[in-house]
Amino acid sequence: MRIRPYSLFLCLGALAAFGRAATLPEVLAKIDTAGPKFTGMTANVDELSYSKVIDDKSTESGTIVIWRPKPKDLQIKIEFTKPDQRFVTLKGQKAEIYMPKISTVQEYDLGKQSDLITRVMLVGLGTTGKELQANYEVSLLGEESVSGRNTYHLNLVPKAANLKKQFRNMEAWIVDDGSFPMQQKVVLPAGDYKMFTYSNAIYNPALTEKALALKLPNNVKREYPQRDRN
């Protein structure tokens, strides 16, 4: 069978395009499209904490619920089940930590820190590629599989001086359609870091305030550590 030169050229071109790695502008364009559509996520979560001074790693695992009812409004509830049960919630400027074993809730006023936490957690969760480029020096480190999903591995270095004081850089592993992260890592100036890895993620589930509320017993003790230190 005779193969026409132009047919061979088209086939080779298609194979090259299929195997070509994505570029940073292409990845950011996907995030631009998917970002505004993000309203929430539920997933299993593994949190890895690393302390550089003592070269120590610790892990916790559980489930996470993230709700974004409107832009810039991020609400989070994490239930850690291993090694001990513990609940963490974030809404606006208030964070709560509930420890069932001792029937105690600790309440924190995040103040200005709430904006920083929200900005960090929002990376890949409703932000656009344009917003990422406005706030960070963004680079594409490659494509990796995380929890069975193909992802784009991004590195983000903050541009603002106040953010640089809070963290050195951030990494995000965004699923290949740009809709949400499968992994996030925040590196602090001293080299400590926290990394969140998600699995069994459900994108944009139906959520309400009730799904993020703490279910507390009547006799729960409420503490305010910030006030106690003053």
Amino acid at position 36, single letter: P
pTM beyond 0.75: yes
Alpha carbon distances (Å) from 175 to 36, 54, 183, 200: 15, 33, 9, 13
Provide the pLDDT for residue 141: 96
Distance of CA 61 to the CA centre of its chain: 15
pLDDT band for position 10 (cuts 50, 70, 90): very low
Mean pLDDT for the chain? Answer: 87
Measured between its terminal Cα atoms, the distance across the chain in Å is: 87
**Mean pLDDT value of segment 156-162:** 90
Q: Is the pLDDT of residue 19 over 70?
A: no
Q: Is the pLDDT of residue 52 over 90?
A: yes
Share of the chain above pLDDT 70, in %: 85
18, pLDDT greater than 60 = no
| pLDDT tens per residue across span 164-186 | 888 899 999 999 999 999 999 99
In the chain, what are the domains? 26-229 (2.50.20.10)
**Contacts by 62-66 with C-beta closer than 8 Å and gap 24+?**
64/196, 64/198, 65/40, 65/41, 65/207, 65/211, 65/212, 66/40, 66/41, 66/42, 66/121, 66/125
Structure tokens at 148: 């069975």
Dihedral angle at the C-alpha atoms of 79, 83, 85, 86, nearest 10 degrees?
Answer: -60
Please, which pLDDT band fits residue 229 given cuts at 50, 70 and 90?
A: low
116 pLDDT more than 80: no
Per the model's pLDDT, the better-predicted residue between 104 and 10 turns out to be 104
Overall average pLDDT of the 189-203 stretch: 94
